[in-house]
Structure 1
Amino acid sequence: MSNKSMFTEISTDELVALLSSPKAKFIDIRPVDAYNGWPLQNEPRGGHIKGAKTLPAKWGNYIDWIEIVRSKGILPEHEIVLYGYSKDKMEEIATRFQKSGYNQIKIYNHFQDEWSPNTELPMDFLPRFENLVPASFVNKIISGERPLEYEGKKVVIVHAHYRNRDAYLSGHIPGAIDMDTLALEATETWNRRSPEELEQALLKHGITSDTLVISYGKFMFPDNDDEFPGSAAGDIGAIRNAFIMMYAGVKDVRVLNGGFQSWEDAAYEIATDDVPKTPVENFGVNIPVKSELAVDTPEAKEMLASSTADLVCVRSWPEYIGEVSGYNYIEKKGRIPGAIFGNCGSDAYHMENYRHVDHTTREFHEVAKIWEQVGITPDKHLAFYCGTGWRGSEAWFNAWLMGWPRVSVFDGGWFEWSNDPENPYETGIPENSNAEIYS
């Protein structure tokens, strides 16, 4: 491609002048991990230009690319400014915009050499981005190219699944061991197991409080809801496991952003061997270390009565209004009175409102904006719940990554709440004459 761009290139000063324009949309086409804060090309400051949207170049290959663009509020009347690592990629995406009816397109080619080094220019990042890792981070760990802070540190890579070792044996990250989510949660309640059981499970998998754990899963779609307790995705099981390990006291737990799909997209080596677990004898601390991360029913009731706390229902609309229970092993339909609707997506097996199309965690600004519109704000103590804990754990992880100070999972969720005939519940649309309250 010629060095001369077919699109207008703007300077740093021109971009600064556009920051205050309501018509300007700044689009970061780098990988979403770079947007979150990972300096993937050794840029001086990790993160993104403040106010920018993430639209990775690899999404340009998706058939529904333009729907993704529009869902982010990027419209033809806007003045589009693209930036990234590669000028060729910027021009490629600019051409896609042009073919889709966008005519005001500019390219900014100085993010790495001018914007990132200049601390006076505004940038933003996901506060706890280091706990949501790119595939390249995991690859460096297993290849021995560890940053100095990880030298000598024991690392356990965990492939999470729910009663499906075939998902692991059919392809996993080299060196990863498998962990059934049932090791950490009980089928009777779907809640986290007792401290004694958690300790034994973690020791069996070679995990102590000082172990660096990288948790990931593989996206799976169930044939029926008997097979999965809370989601169709193994990657959400990875977040569920991560939550329980953090509750127990594992100090450094990371989640692979996008799960196994991200590993495959990066074209890294895939293994099929059955990696043996190496048990250890001493966890190092008394479990649980972070009990505040989990809320049980008595505290959930206190939170409902408090003006400084909220329960957030991370279920689908049909579940929330009581049209369906979500799973065939949950009899009652409805919601906890007073819970805020946190909308997981289309049904009990999807979290599309918290995910990008490639299964990576959704742009955190978008999640925060959606939550703010329904009154979910960081100034309160928030406890996220769903049917049995998986979706609630993923929503909790979003808030925790954003650095929100008091966020928990109401572990019992609708399953535990609805099984107690003494607990009230309601159906119908809230604040509507059709809503019915049962007690």
Structure 2
Amino acid sequence: MKTFKEISTQALFETNRQSDDSIIIDSRPIAAYNGWPLQGEQRGGHIPGAKSIPLQWTHYMDWIEVLEEKNITKERPLIIYGYNREDSIHMAEKLVDLGFHDLAIYSHFVEEWSANPNLPLHKLPKFKHLVYPEWVNKLIHNGQPPLYENEDYVICHSHYDYIEDYHNGHIPGAIPVDTNSLESTETWNRRPAEELRKTLQDLGIRYDTTVVIYGRFSSPVFDGNPFPGKSAGHLGALRSAAIMLYAGVKDIRILNGGLTSWKTEGYELSNTPSEPTPVHDFGIDIPAHPEYMIDTPSAKQLLTSDKGELVSIRSWEEFIGNRSGYHYIDQKGRIPGAIFGNCGSDAYHMENYRNFDHTMREYQEIETTWKEVGITPDKQLAFYCGTGWRGSEAFWNAWLMGWPNISVYDGGWFEWCADPDNPVETGIPESAQDIRSVNTNYQINI
């Protein structure tokens, strides 16, 4: 085992306070980074400014892409901390093998930093709605997962018109949820209130039911595949979750990373179907949160507002009009005045919003990227894509960060371009001359 210099709590505090050139790396699981107290620490969260690189990633990640994405270079000093000294040293050894040389270890996070209320910790504001596999496993085995007090829950395995995906293996006790039951197969917008009420009641979901939702990730192939969305199960789960939140479900828990994270932790899948237990009353009027979904008239108003932005969560090729993004949409181009929010490579991928293991990307990275193009929490924001899936995932990022005035423009490009009176632009807008399509595609199949 190599020897590394140790840094004290006081020295790290001074380094952090002075914002020097050092990079702090948090090697704990991403759930701990987001705020979950996984090892009994008195306060959850991470040291301000720390970059999240879970030690688990080192077994299968592409180091070069991850380090470049997080702007971690060999010229800058590194300080590594985790739950214990051994894990930090293990991470440091891997970095030394890559040519890093100026490294230090901080070994007192739990007993000193977390235990001292005078030392700052940052966390994802609504981290409890982004759960991890062990949390779900405790739930289904009659344990008591942290930050959960409800007795009524439903676990939803999301799919798009592809029940075989559920039968191929799901979390034990999960019920299948077809995205078509929540959105129209003609407009791809959310279904009317009464239809949503029936769907949710048939699924056994009231407004006060805890809903745990996830999907399976696979890599959809656009060319030659008439239904690539059938492979984007976890993306569909986030679309379903957004509609449920709009309807009024108070406690939605997204399994971070979807079924991939469940399998990575070694938990078993079930092939035994589970039937929902319908309820007779949702409990409140639908929609309880109409502000979370807007339609075309409101989108047009937002485009004229100096306090709001319509954010295009589409690929660069879609944004500049080189392709429509969908087999069933002929019109190419963008909504004039929309800001480029950059999903990733195409209509069925969200690489730029996810880590390579399909968990949600470090939230400060999303926030920084958005800020560079004018997407900030002080504005009224509506995220859109082609039909609502990618826009819903971006919406969830903002919602988990606690941004107050956010919505999904439900009609999106599909509805906008269907009206010949609506203006359309192509090419690179002057406001985006310096933007390039950055596809941080370091995904793998686990």
One fold, TM greater than 0.5? yes
Looking at structure 2, the residues matched to 148 and 293 of structure 1 have their Cα atoms a distance apart, in angstroms, of: 28
Looking at structure 1, the residues matched to 432 and 249 of structure 2 have their Cα atoms a distance apart, in angstroms, of: 48
Q: Tell me whether 1:109 sits opposite 2:107 in the alignment.
A: yes
Looking at structure 2, the residues matched to 22 and 273 of structure 1 have their Cα atoms a distance apart, in angstroms, of: 55
- Given that residues 150 and 210 in structure 2 are in contact (C-alpha distance below 8 angstroms), is that contact kept between their aligned partners in structure 1? no
Partner of 2:442: none
Q: Please report how far the alpha carbon of residue 149 of structure 1 lies from its aligned counterpart in structure 2 after TM superposition.
A: 6.6
Q: Tell me whether 1:12 sits opposite 2:9 in the alignment.
A: yes
Partner of 1:315: 314
What pairs with 1:193-272 in structure 2 (closer than 5 Å)?
193-224=191-222, 225-229=225-229, 232-272=231-271
| 1:417 to 1:293, Cα distance in 2 relative to 1, 3 A | same
Q: Tell me whether 1:136 sits opposite 2:138 in the alignment.
A: no
Partner of 1:354: 353
What pairs with 1:404-423 in structure 2 (closer than 5 Å)?
404-423=403-422
What pairs with 1:49-64 in structure 2 (closer than 5 Å)?
49-64=47-62
| 1:357 to 1:417, Cα distance in 2 relative to 1, 3 A | same
SS state at 2:430 partner: coil
Partner of 1:173: 171
Q: Please report how far the alpha carbon of residue 120 of structure 1 lies from its aligned counterpart in structure 2 after TM superposition.
A: 1.0
Cα distance per residue 1:196-215 (max 9 Å; x no partner): 11011111111111100000
Name the amino acid aligned to 1:227. F
- Given that residues 162 and 228 in structure 1 are in contact (C-alpha distance below 8 angstroms), is that contact kept between their aligned partners in structure 2? no
Q: Tell me whether 1:286 sits opposite 2:285 in the alignment.
A: yes
Name the amino acid aligned to 1:180. D
List alignment gaps of at least 5 residues for structure 1.
Answer: 435-439
Looking at structure 1, the residues matched to 231 and 372 of structure 2 have their Cα atoms a distance apart, in angstroms, of: 28
TM-score by length of 1: 0.95
Q: Please report how far the alpha carbon of residue 90 of structure 1 lies from its aligned counterpart in structure 2 after TM superposition.
A: 1.3
SS state at 1:123 partner: coil
Pairing partner for 2:29 from 25, 28, 31: 31
Matched residues, percent identical?
Answer: 54
Runs (4+) of structure 1 exceeding 3 A deviation are 147-152
Looking at structure 1, the residues matched to 176 and 279 of structure 2 have their Cα atoms a distance apart, in angstroms, of: 16
Q: Please report how far the alpha carbon of residue 223 of structure 1 lies from its aligned counterpart in structure 2 after TM superposition.
A: 4.2
Looking at structure 2, the residues matched to 26 and 338 of structure 1 have their Cα atoms a distance apart, in angstroms, of: 38
| 1:172 to 1:74, Cα distance in 2 relative to 1, 3 A | same
Cα distance per residue 1:191-250 (max 9 Å; x no partner): 000001101111111111110000000002234453145x85211111111100010011
SS state at 2:6 partner: strand
- Given that residues 83 and 109 in structure 1 are in contact (C-alpha distance below 8 angstroms), is that contact kept between their aligned partners in structure 2? yes
Partner of 2:437: none
Partner of 2:444: none
Q: Please report how far the alpha carbon of residue 62 of structure 1 lies from its aligned counterpart in structure 2 after TM superposition.
A: 2.1
Compare 56-65 and 34-43 and name the one that shifted more.
56-65
Q: Tell me whether 1:363 sits opposite 2:358 in the alignment.
A: no
- Given that residues 135 and 146 in structure 2 are in contact (C-alpha distance below 8 angstroms), is that contact kept between their aligned partners in structure 1? no
Partner of 2:332: 333
Name the amino acid aligned to 2:6. E
Name the amino acid aligned to 2:93. T
SS state at 1:372 partner: helix
SS state at 1:188 partner: coil
- Given that residues 128 and 147 in structure 2 are in contact (C-alpha distance below 8 angstroms), is that contact kept between their aligned partners in structure 1? no
Q: Tell me whether 1:185 sits opposite 2:169 in the alignment.
A: no
Q: Please report how far the alpha carbon of residue 151 of structure 1 lies from its aligned counterpart in structure 2 after TM superposition.
A: 4.9
Partner of 1:43: 41
SS state at 1:362 partner: coil
Looking at structure 2, the residues matched to 387 and 422 of structure 1 have their Cα atoms a distance apart, in angstroms, of: 18
Name the amino acid aligned to 1:325. S
| 1:432 to 1:154, Cα distance in 2 relative to 1, 3 A | closer
- Given that residues 46 and 125 in structure 1 are in contact (C-alpha distance below 8 angstroms), is that contact kept between their aligned partners in structure 2? yes
Report the aligned-residue RMSD.
1.6
Q: Please report how far the alpha carbon of residue 110 of structure 1 lies from its aligned counterpart in structure 2 after TM superposition.
A: 0.3
SS state at 2:425 partner: strand
Looking at structure 2, the residues matched to 298 and 107 of structure 1 have their Cα atoms a distance apart, in angstroms, of: 55
Cα distance per residue 1:325-381 (max 9 Å; x no partner): 001100100000000000001122210100001000000100000000001111110
Cα distance per residue 1:101-120 (max 9 Å; x no partner): 10001110000000001111
Cα distance per residue 1:170-201 (max 9 Å; x no partner): 11111000101001001101100000110111
- Given that residues 66 and 100 in structure 1 are in contact (C-alpha distance below 8 angstroms), is that contact kept between their aligned partners in structure 2? no
Q: Please report how far the alpha carbon of residue 271 of structure 1 lies from its aligned counterpart in structure 2 after TM superposition.
A: 0.9
Compare 305-314 and 58-67 and name the one that shifted more.
58-67
Looking at structure 2, the residues matched to 338 and 286 of structure 1 have their Cα atoms a distance apart, in angstroms, of: 35
Q: Please report how far the alpha carbon of residue 42 of structure 1 lies from its aligned counterpart in structure 2 after TM superposition.
A: 1.4
